[in-house]
Structure 1
Amino acid sequence: MANKIQIEVAYGLAQRQHIYRYEVAQGTTARQAVLQSDVLRDYPQADLSAPVGIFGKMVRDDTPLRHNDRVELYRPLLADPKEARRKRVQKQQENQNDD
């Protein structure tokens, strides 16, 4: 068992998320874990070449995993966060002016 580690692979959409738990060989990389996971089976639209991270921090594909790491496969943003915030503030200001 010394050559195996426990990891998780996380992926989801706004409405549904899934965490897959696996035992993998020590030395498995972040990208290898994603490619070996069942993400594509459950999320056919997933882009397995998208950026990956470990516990919310983007990492290189060849980053070796450690015991209990959670690998995350990121989705593209639907909107630029700064632009979305600017629109929300503008809408709030318009609503206040209407009162």
Structure 2
Amino acid sequence: MDKQSIAVEVAYALADKQKLIRLTVPAGTTVRQAALRSGMDAHFPEVDLANAPLGIFGKAVAKPDERVLEEGERVEIYRPLIADPKEVRKQRAAKAAKEKAGE
């Protein structure tokens, strides 16, 4: 591989299915460009790669259209949350308190 291209990975996962695609992209490729080049939407048609939130190694990228990738980085395509984590925690705490009171 020459200095004009880099190797990266693009990942997407559902609860029951995941896909990791290795790509060689030109140096200077952004996070969003790599996601679009991956063709991940062929495996997961419901994914909107042009607008999906993206990250690198578990950390969300605020401006994926501007952030340039480096050799070996893994782009992660995030899916929307089904439930608000704060609300789930609140419900779990209320249930635990109720069970404790019932003992």
Task: Please tell me whether the aligned partners of residues 6 and 24 of structure 1 are also in contact (alpha carbons under 8 angstroms).
Answer: yes
Runs of 4+ in 1 over 4 A off after TM superposition: none
Consecutive unaligned residues of structure 1, counting only runs of 5 or more, are none
Distance (whole Å) between structure 2 residues aligned to residue 93 and residue 41 of structure 1: 46
Query: Which of 73, 78, 86 in structure 1 is aligned with 2:90?
Result: 86
Amino acid in the other structure paired with 1:79: A
Please tell me the root mean square deviation across aligned C-alpha atoms, in Å. Answer: 1.2
Amino acid in the other structure paired with 1:35: L
Consecutive unaligned residues of structure 2, counting only runs of 5 or more, are none
Distance (whole Å) between structure 2 residues aligned to residue 90 and residue 47 of structure 1: 36
- Pairwise CA distance, 1:41: 0.7
State TM-score, norm by structure 1: 0.91
Write out per-residue CA displacement over residues 25-81 of structure 1, whole angstroms, 9 at most, x where no aligned residue.
111110000111121011111121111111122221221100001111111111111
State TM-score, norm by structure 2: 0.87
Report how many aligned residue pairs link the two structures.
99
Task: Please tell me whether the aligned partners of residues 47 and 75 of structure 1 are also in contact (alpha carbons under 8 angstroms).
Answer: no
Moved more, 10-19 or 61-70: 10-19
Give me the identity figure in percent.
45
Distance (whole Å) between structure 2 residues aligned to residue 33 and residue 43 of structure 1: 16
Q: Which residue of 1 aligns with 2:19?
A: 18
Q: Which residue of 1 aligns with 2:60?
A: 58
